[in-house]
Amino acid sequence: MTTWKLEDAKNQFSRLVRAAQVQPQIVTRHGREEAVVMSMEKYRQLARQQPDFVQFMRRSPLATAFGKGELELRRPRDMPRDIEL
């Protein structure tokens, strides 16, 4: 990936966008990586790969750590205990 200083990215934005069509481009500010510019096609590809939270938790190694093979995602409906203040 190519790295651009923020000032250069602003001054050459059209060039940055064209380069992002080929491969993602990193933008830095004060020497730190702050952003990535990528093609819309690549973004959509990555966005489709992200599981929702429930799928993510079910794929977790902790989902089978307790021997059930299925992660229980329900909260108890018990009332909280009384605390004297």
d(CA 66, CA 19): 48
d(CA 13, CA 8): 8
Give the tens place of pLDDT for each residue, 56-75.
777 777 766 665 556 566 77
β-sheet bridge partners, residue 37? 25
Structure pTM?
0.58
Under the banding of pLDDT at 50, 70 and 90, the label for residue 42 is: very high
Q: Which CATH class is domain 2-63?
A: alpha beta
With contact defined as beta carbons under 8 Å apart, do 26 and 36 qualify?
yes
d(CA 3, CA 26): 5
